[in-house]
């Protein structure tokens, strides 16, 4: 049990155990725009099916093979993210902040959660902290943007992709924009009407302005 100062400087006893138990899979790469908008990051595919860009392959994806995650795996990650959101709101209410999660920033520190510096965290602890901070930033900025990782999410079976998007929208009705990396050729084969009623899947744009790269992707 931990004692935290709430609204008005009043201390409350809270149990951080559940908050420290949540984690979900986050990929290594997202566009700068998604960091600025504090998007919720959800890994739908692993690595990149193209692997032809020398500035990316062998660096961020560490030359790992491309793979699709199952719908159930992604749904479980969405559930974990939602559980973190709910837990943060519950803490806010208990501490007298009326559901506003902004004041909880001081709680989401390695010293507060684990009693040690971030550089001393285990891999499991660091993953938990990263997930907590990702969801915190998403919620505190309005919970309107999500980014589906890793590369080329539209290569996923359309029915499965729609199922993931619709599940995300059910858990987070406030999400207005869902973006993803995508290659132009697979995306062009996706019929926009096949996504109708679920969401508008936006591609942030080409990674490179070099014509040779953009025409081959």
The DSSP line for 183-199 is -HHHHHTS-GGGGTTT-
User: Which residue reads 């499965």 in tokens?
Assistant: 160
Phi-psi region of 197 (alpha: psi -120 to 50; beta: other; left: phi over 0): left
Which one has a higher pLDDT value, 30 or 12?
Answer: 30
Residue 85 reports pLDDT greater than 70: yes
**What is the C-alpha radius of gyration for the chain, rounded to an integer number of angstroms?**
19
Average pLDDT, the chain: 82
| Residues 92-118, mean pLDDT to the nearest whole number | 90
Give dist(CA 126, CA 131) in Å, integer.
9
User: Which residue reads 């919720």 in tokens?
Assistant: 40
Q: Is 54 exposed, middle or buried (0-12, 13-18, 19+ CB in 10 A)?
A: exposed
| Residues 12-27, mean pLDDT to the nearest whole number | 86
Give dist(CA 147, CA 78) in Å, integer.
12
Binned at pLDDT 50, 70 and 90, residue 139 comes out as: very high
Q: Which of 56-60, 76-80, 137-141, 209-213 shows the lowest per-residue confidence on average (mean pLDDT)?
A: 209-213
Residue 90 reports pLDDT greater than 60: yes
Binned at pLDDT 50, 70 and 90, residue 150 comes out as: confident
pLDDT of residue 39: 93
DSSP at 4: E
| Residues 45-50, mean pLDDT to the nearest whole number | 84
pLDDT of residue 203: 54
CB of 145 within 8 A of CB of 134?
no
pLDDT of residue 127: 96
CB of 33 within 8 A of CB of 204?
yes
Residue 5 reports pLDDT greater than 70: no
Give the pair of three-digit tokens for residue 149.
Answer: 């990782």
- Structure pTM? 0.85
Query: Percentage of the chain surpassing pLDDT 70?
Result: 76
Give residue limits of the domains in the chain.
17-216
Which phi and psi (to 5°) does residue 40 adopt? -75, 125
- Per residue in 175-184, pLDDT tens? 999 988 877 7
Which phi and psi (to 5°) does residue 12 adopt? -130, 145
């Amino acid at each position: 049990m931990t004692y935290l100062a709430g609204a008005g400087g009043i201390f409350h006893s809270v149990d951080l155990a559940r908050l420290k138990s949540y984690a979900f899979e986050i990929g290594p790469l997202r566009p700068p725009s998604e960091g600025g908008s504090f998007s919720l990051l959800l890994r739908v595919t692993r690595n990149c099916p193209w692997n032809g860009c020398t500035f990316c392959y062998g660096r961020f994806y560490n030359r790992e093979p491309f793979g699709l995650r199952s719908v159930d795996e992604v749904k479980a990650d969405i559930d974990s993210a939602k559980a973190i959101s709910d837990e943060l709101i519950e803490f806010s209410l208990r501490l007298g902040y009326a559901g506003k999660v902004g004041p909880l920033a001081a709680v989401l520190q390695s010293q507060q959660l684990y009693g040690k510096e971030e550089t001393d965290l285990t891999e499991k602890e660091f993953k938990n902290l990263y997930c907590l901070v990702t969801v915190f930033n998403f919620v505190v900025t309005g919970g309107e943007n999500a980014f589906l990782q890793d590369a080329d999410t539209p290569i996923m079976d359309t029915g499965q992709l729609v199922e993931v998007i619709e599940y995300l929208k059910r858990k987070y009705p406030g999400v207005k924009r869902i973006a993803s990396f995508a290659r132009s050729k697979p995306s062009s084969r996706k019929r926009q009407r096949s996504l109708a009623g679920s969401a508008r899947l936006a591609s942030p744009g080409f990674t490179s302005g070099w014509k040779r790269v953009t025409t081959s992707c």
